[in-house]
Amino acid sequence: MKYTVITGASSGIGYETALAFAARGKNLILVARRLDKLEELKSTIQGMDTKVNVIVHISDLSVTAEAYALYNNLKEYEIETWINNAGLGESSFIADQNLDKVETMLRVNIESLTVLSTLYVRDYANVEGTQLINVSSALGYAIAVGSVAYSASKFYVSAFTEGLAKELELKAAKLKAKVLAPAITETEFVQKSIDAEGFDYKANMPKYHTAKEMAGFMIDLYDHNEAVVGIVDQNYDFQLTGAIYPVISELS
């Protein structure tokens, strides 16, 4: 029995991605901090299709040691797709940043993602049909003043994953590494980034996607054999493309 792992599955893009993969009959391992939300999602999925096996796993990926523990706890399962969706934001000028919040963001967006990606690649690089999808951001390809630390963390995700994709290609590996780069999406993300409850997207955002739309883009990226990056452009159109960053294949 094969599984798809989705971190940050309790809400937003992760939640809708779980529903999208379940609709394809994919067995799921859902990871987040909130057990009640995961159990709610599991119940919803099993109401859709009782044949889909759903496992929920509690993990706080702001604690890097928990990333190792998560992976080790899942080693008994055969994982065909690993989606690192969990991520945090921080919206303020650098001089005004809450450094505790920034440190937590960096541990989730960079450290735990790197640990989980690396461990998965070590075990599955030569397994046919496997994919690693890391969720970056359109701001992983453009600097946003007022969210520079967040942008920088997503630049890392994009560069790390694109570089990994190239390394896998050079080794003729069977595993595919891909980047999903959303723009503003209607989730809990913005209100957590700015510490505001009940953020109104319709009133404050001229353009945005719903989490369900973004999950559809995730599926498009998953299905495309040649794409490395799925990115929302400045017109809020979704584009599938090869690597965006220049890559140096050999050390000089």
Give the residue numbers annotated as catalytic, written as ranges: 150, 154
What secondary structure does DSSP assign to the chain, as a single string? -EEEEEESTTSHHHHHHHHHHHTTT-EEEEEES-HHHHHHHHHHHHHH-TTS-EEEEE--TTSHHHHHHHHHHTTTSEEEEEEE-------S-GGG--HHHHHHHHIIIIIIHHHHHHHHHHHHTTSTT-EEEEE--GGGSS--TT-HHHHHHHHHHHHHHHHHHHHHHHTT-S-EEEEEE--SEESSHHHHHTT-SS--HHHH-SS-EEHHHHHHHHHHHHH-SS-SEEEE-TTS-EEEES--S----S--
Distance between first and last Cα of the chain: 44
CA 86 to chain centre: 6
DSSP state of 109: I
